[in-house]
């Protein structure tokens, strides 16, 4: 059974919310449009399918540096193609593999990771009435 004294802390919290301690001070912080859409969701609305995005990434990764540079500078290409090209060129100039690794994991999946575990502890196994208990 819940006593009314147990509900007092919750009532105080509700009163604090009613006082306007949140966005009343900074109304410009309210995100009235909701969470921004992810790039993949936006591309689906435009008409790109997931397989088309993956094919685009694979094709651009397979190009030479001069061909990727042409894509990045030519406004006749789609924004998706230009963004991928610019990201790859930026990383190339820095000597970084970050965007390449990100694009490869997006298209081909992450490589399998292995883990090992060693312990010096003894493991006790008990067999009781047809069941094994560790």
Compute the half-sphere exposure of residue 72: CA atoms within 13 Å on the CB side of its CA. 17
Q: How much is the pLDDT for 16?
A: 56
Beta-carbon neighbour count of residue 85 at 10 Å? 21
Q: How much is the pLDDT for 17?
A: 57
Beta-carbon neighbour count of residue 94 at 10 Å? 10
Rounded to two decimals, the pTM is 0.51
- The pLDDT of residue 114 is above 60: yes
Instruction: Using DSSP bridges, classify how beta strands 126-128 and 131-133 pair: parallel, antiparallel or unpaired.
Output: antiparallel
pLDDT in tens, 21-30: 566 677 777 7
C-beta separation of 57 from 40 below 8 A: no
């Amino acid at each position: 059974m819940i006593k009314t004294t147990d509900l007092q802390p919750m009532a105080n919290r509700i009163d604090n919310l009613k006082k306007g301690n949140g966005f009343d001070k900074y109304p410009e912080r309210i995100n009235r449009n909701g969470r921004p859409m992810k790039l993949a969701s936006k591309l689906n609305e435009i008409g790109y399918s997931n397989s088309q995005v993956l094919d685009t990434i694979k094709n651009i990764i397979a190009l030479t540096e001069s061909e990727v540079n042409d894509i990045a500078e030519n406004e006749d290409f789609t924004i998706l193609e230009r963004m991928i090209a610019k990201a790859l060129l930026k990383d190339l100039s820095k000597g970084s593999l970050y965007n390449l690794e990100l694009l490869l994991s997006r298209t081909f999946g992450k490589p399998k990771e292995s883990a090992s575990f060693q312990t010096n502890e003894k493991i006790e196994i008990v067999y009781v009435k047809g069941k094994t208990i560790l």
